[in-house]
Amino acid sequence: MDFSYTNEHKMLKETLEKFFLERYSNSLREENFESEQGYNNDIWNELCELGVLAALITERQGGFGGKGDDLTIIFQSLGYALATEPFLSAGILGLRLAAELELTETVEQCLNGEKQITLAHFEPESRYDPAYINMTATKSDAGYSLSGRKSMVYGAQHCEQLLVSARLESSTGKIALFLIDKNQDGVKCFDQKLIDGSQASEIMLEDLQVNKESLISADASDVITKIIAFANLALSAEALGAMKKIQEMTVEYMKDREQFGRPISSFQALQHRCVEMVIEIEQFDAAIIKAASTMDQPSTQEQKDKAISSAKYLAGKTGKLVAEESIQLHGGIGMTWEYPLGHYAKRITMIDHQFGDSEYHLERFVRLSA
């Protein structure tokens, strides 16, 4: 099987690498971490003009990509640069979900980056289980009344509208999706900054009244499962990009750092630790390639879920190894604010806890393999 990129994918990869090399600096990254918004508007607009958002959806949906390789190339570049722009929330959980739901007008509004929407799905008690939904949607005279709480809603602070999942109070009890205005009465949004500098929100709906047109899908379980799979693939690719950058930083540091009159890269014990990191990263890379190709093939949902869980499990397991080893090999400088390594390690740690940590995905993989 040929795993090499097509010419279009090579061009996308080279464009992103050149852009981040020229435009993304450590000082810009630190400004993003400290800012209330969490990212730079100019960088976001330039990336949207380059068509990065359009590469996340298919031609039929109005873009020019949307395949597994497109996602992994984009998010691996984001991870390598430690970019904070909201491509997970606005791109996967917003634009791609809207495209899957065939919300043509919303897709057109989101494609240029001027409008953002995101998915509000997980709840405080769900523990990564996408089927655990307590938020209820009760029929009313005007349409529906929504009540409940959503946690870890990524990118909500930048959105005027949210795609909110709720369980219909009927004989079916299916999970439905509603498109709601975040700023209307009955919606409370509490924003918080996470350990890696990214942001998420808690959303509380208290007897929120919405019209019938707000109901986008009365049975959205399958599309939510698909979008969460895309999100996990994107996060895994982002973690891979961050690990490759950490590996490069560690090797360069070991060449420059001297101990007992010679570079520490000459010590065999430290060389073995670096080799172990490289082997684990390559194994993780292979798992992502398999997951991306499985998403594009006419595979069963179970096969896709297994491939995604395998990659996401390794994102946590390998990420822990790479973060710990690289910081130990750097010594105290590895966790200083001015040196980017600590920020990469925090981002990798945060990725492990998004949409299922390594323990959750290992158990899921075993269950699907039984």
From the CB of residue 272, how many other CB atoms can be counted at a distance below 10 Å? 10
Is 13:5 a contact under the CB 8 Å cutoff? Answer: yes
With bands split at pLDDT 50, 70 and 90, how would you rate the model's confidence at 112? Answer: confident
Structure tokens that stand for 166 in this block: 């709720």
- 192 and 235, same structural domain? no
Domain C-terminal end among 190, 217, 244: 217
**To the nearest 5 percent, what fractions of the chain are helix, strand and coil?**
55, 15, 25
Domain C-terminal end among 217, 245, 260: 217
- 289 and 342, same structural domain? yes
What is the average pLDDT across 139-144? 89
- Percent pLDDT > 70 in the chain is 99
The answer as to whether 36 is a domain residue is yes
Question: Residue 14 sits in which domain range?
Answer: 7-116
Side chain identity at residue 56, one-letter code: L
The answer as to whether 199 is a domain residue is yes
Residue predicted with more confidence, 238 or 6: 238
- 92 and 147, same structural domain? no
The partner residues of 167 in beta bridges, in order of sequence, read 136, 175
The answer as to whether 154 is a domain residue is yes
Domain C-terminal end among 96, 116, 136: 116
Q: What are phi and psi of 220, to 5 degrees?
A: -105, 10
pLDDT tens-digit map of 70-103: 999 999 999 999 999 999 999 999 999 999 999 9
- 96 and 30, same structural domain? yes
> What angle, rounded to 10 degrees, do the helices at 68-81 and 268-296 form?
150
The answer as to whether 2 is a domain residue is no
The answer as to whether 52 is a domain residue is yes
- 149 and 265, same structural domain? no
- 350 and 297, same structural domain? yes
The answer as to whether 151 is a domain residue is yes
pLDDT tens-digit map of 11-63: 999 999 999 999 998 889 888 888 888 899 999 999 999 999 999 999 999 99
pLDDT at 1: 53
User: CA 128, 129, 134 angle in degrees (round to 5)?
Assistant: 110
The CATH number linked to 27 is 1.10.540.10
Q: What is the largest CA-CA distance in the chain?
A: 81
The answer as to whether 174 is a domain residue is yes
- 232 and 348, same structural domain? yes
- 100 and 169, same structural domain? no
| Radius of gyration of the chain, Cα coordinates, nearest whole angstrom | 21
With bands split at pLDDT 50, 70 and 90, how would you rate the model's confidence at 298? Answer: confident
- 225 and 192, same structural domain? no
Altogether, the residues listed in the chain come to a count of 370
Number of structural domains (the chain) is 3
> What angle, rounded to 10 degrees, do the helices at 7-23 and 68-81 form?
20
- 355 and 246, same structural domain? yes
From the CB of residue 178, how many other CB atoms can be counted at a distance below 10 Å? 24
The CATH number linked to 246 is 1.20.140.10
The answer as to whether 226 is a domain residue is yes
pLDDT tens-digit map of 145-189: 999 999 999 999 999 999 999 999 875 779 999 999 998 989 999
The CATH number linked to 201 is 2.40.110.10
- 49 and 145, same structural domain? no
- 102 and 153, same structural domain? no
C-alpha torsion 351→230→37→16, nearest 10: 90
Q: What are phi and psi of 25, to 5 degrees?
A: -115, 165
pLDDT at 26: 85
